[in-house]
Structure 1
Amino acid sequence: MAFLNEVGKAIGKASQGISDAAQTISSAAQETRENIARDRQEKDMEREAKKLSEQERIAEEARKCPKCGHSLSAMSAVCPLCGYEIRNGKTADAIRGLTTEIEKLEKKRNTVTDALATKLSGRSDNPTDEKIASLIRNFVVPNTKEDIFEFMILAAGYMDARVLAGREAAKEVAGIVIKAWETKFHQTYEKAKLSFGNDGDFGKIQELYDKKMAEIESAKPFSLFKRK
């Protein structure tokens, strides 16, 4: 009997030892995982810091006139010192990129899926049109006169006057997309007016803006009574 008790004690001690060892291994594993996670977080932070530093460097260079080196504001379209026009080739590419992304979404449009999603959500606009509108709303307004004028021509082409005037429902282009173009059209015009409203070249932008606004105004139902 005493022998069995001794055996039991020995087994108990062995079990406790195994349990302690398992706990030690678990703690060590947890510590290792935490160290790995911490190292990964530190590396991510270093990468983000380098990326931010590079972005700041690029932004700093962009705020200088490439001709005379004069510091420029983010809104500058023309250098106030030497008159050099700051045209950004990347912006022109971005405008073309926007139209390309819209075309891609249109090609991937799934009428059945969109119709089902629209019905389930209870909304009138389908997912593809919402994605296109979001692309337009989030597009960064250009800085230079040429880029602004080019973008406003693009936006004006999509702004169906009769739809915006409330005369008819959208057909080829969804109403939410037309509204997004209208919003961006106004934003671009306001930026142009603020950036170089006193410049002689602003006249062509003003003419384009006035023409589109007059087109929408004349399409409104009450405009018929105004003309009588």
Structure 2
Amino acid sequence: MFSEELESVIEAALADGTLTAKEREVLHKRAAAEGVDPDELDVVIEGRLAKMKREEDWLRPAPPSDKFGDVKKCPRCGEPVEPMAVKCSACGYEFRGVEALKSSQQLADKLDEIAKSYRDKKGNSFQQHDDQIYSMREQARVIKSFPVPTTKEDLLDFAITMQSKWKSSTGLERGTGVKTAYKAKYEECVNKAQLLFPNDPMFQGVFEQHQADKKNMSTQKKVLVVCVLVLLFSLFMYILMK
């Protein structure tokens, strides 16, 4: 429907299932540059958000109370503050001096619940091995669907955690899609940070590490291609000499 570049920006903005005022402003500017009607863009965005909400509602943790510490209204604009919010949805003001459960910990808790549900099952060693595989596949689905945070500190922590989990994935995690899920979520975090905080010094290390990761992966792919070509050439020469 839209250009590849605009679709990429829309995907990054909606990766966490929400759209802030700043993100909408960025999308409108990009759409205007391409001659896209902003009303048409809003219709498409709202439709995608509604679809994502239906798919991801079950992943969103229920708030433990109906207030955030001692804050009930935003000190800047006076709008009501949603439970567990770390930023005002109306004006973007970030609350300080209050505690909120980090997204990385929320995800870890969900994955622990899945792993525990399978560990509690009884069966022989073969069944336990199968259960472990099923558990990791389910964890991979949860990782892929988990919303990326939008507040600065939480996004930074989440990006670093996803990069670390991706790099430290075990053999079984690689075979069940967990490693791929962590990598995809790490990419989402970087895209979100580039959209919201492109020039923020806090994220420069993340951006530099991301570029280094891409360079290393490109080098590994080139080495693999060379090895395959050498192997095929050796096999071809062997057949000719027989």
TM-score normalised to structure 2 length = 0.46
Structure whose alpha-carbon radius of gyration is higher: 1
Q: Of Structure 1 and Structure 2, which has the larger fraction of its residues in helix?
A: 1
